[in-house]
Amino acid sequence: LKPYDTAHRNILLMTSRQTEKSTTVGNKLLAMGVYLPGRSSLFVTPSAMQTTVFSRTRLDEIIDVSPMMKALTHRSLTMNILEKRFVTDYKIYLRYAYLNADRTRGVSVNNLFCDEIQDLIGDTMPVLEETISHHKGGMRVYSGTPKSFSNNIESYWSKFSTQSEWVIPCERHGASPAGWHWNILGPENLGKTGPICNKCGGPISPEHPQAQWVEMNPGAEFEGYRICRLMVP
- Whole-number Å distance between alpha carbons of 197 and 188: 8
Is the confidence at residue 33, as pLDDT, over 90?
no
Phi, psi dihedrals of residue 206, rounded to the nearest 5°: -60, -20
What's the pLDDT at 1?
78
- Whole-number Å distance between alpha carbons of 78 and 88: 13
Amino acid at 188: E
Amino acid at 206: P
What's the pLDDT at 207?
95
- Are the C-beta atoms of 99 and 46 separated by less than 8 Å? no
pTM greater than 0.85 (yes/no)? yes
Weakest-pLDDT range from 53-57, 61-65, 136-140, 213-217: 136-140
What's the pLDDT at 196?
97
pLDDT tens across 111-138, in order? 999 999 999 988 899 999 999 999 888 8
- Whole-number Å distance between alpha carbons of 206 and 168: 6
Query: Residue 21: which of 125, 140, 145, 133 has the closest Cα?
Result: 145
- Are the C-beta atoms of 230 and 185 separated by less than 8 Å? yes
The conformation of residue 58, written as its DSSP 8-state character, comes to I
Half-sphere exposure of 195 (CA within 13 A, CB side): 22
What's the pLDDT at 32?
87
Q: Are strands 40-45 and 91-96 parallel, antiparallel or unpaired?
A: parallel
- Are the C-beta atoms of 128 and 101 separated by less than 8 Å? yes
What's the pLDDT at 137?
82
Query: Residue 206: which of 191, 222, 216 has the closest Cα?
Result: 191
Report residue 109's pLDDT band, with 50, 70 and 90 as the boundaries: very high
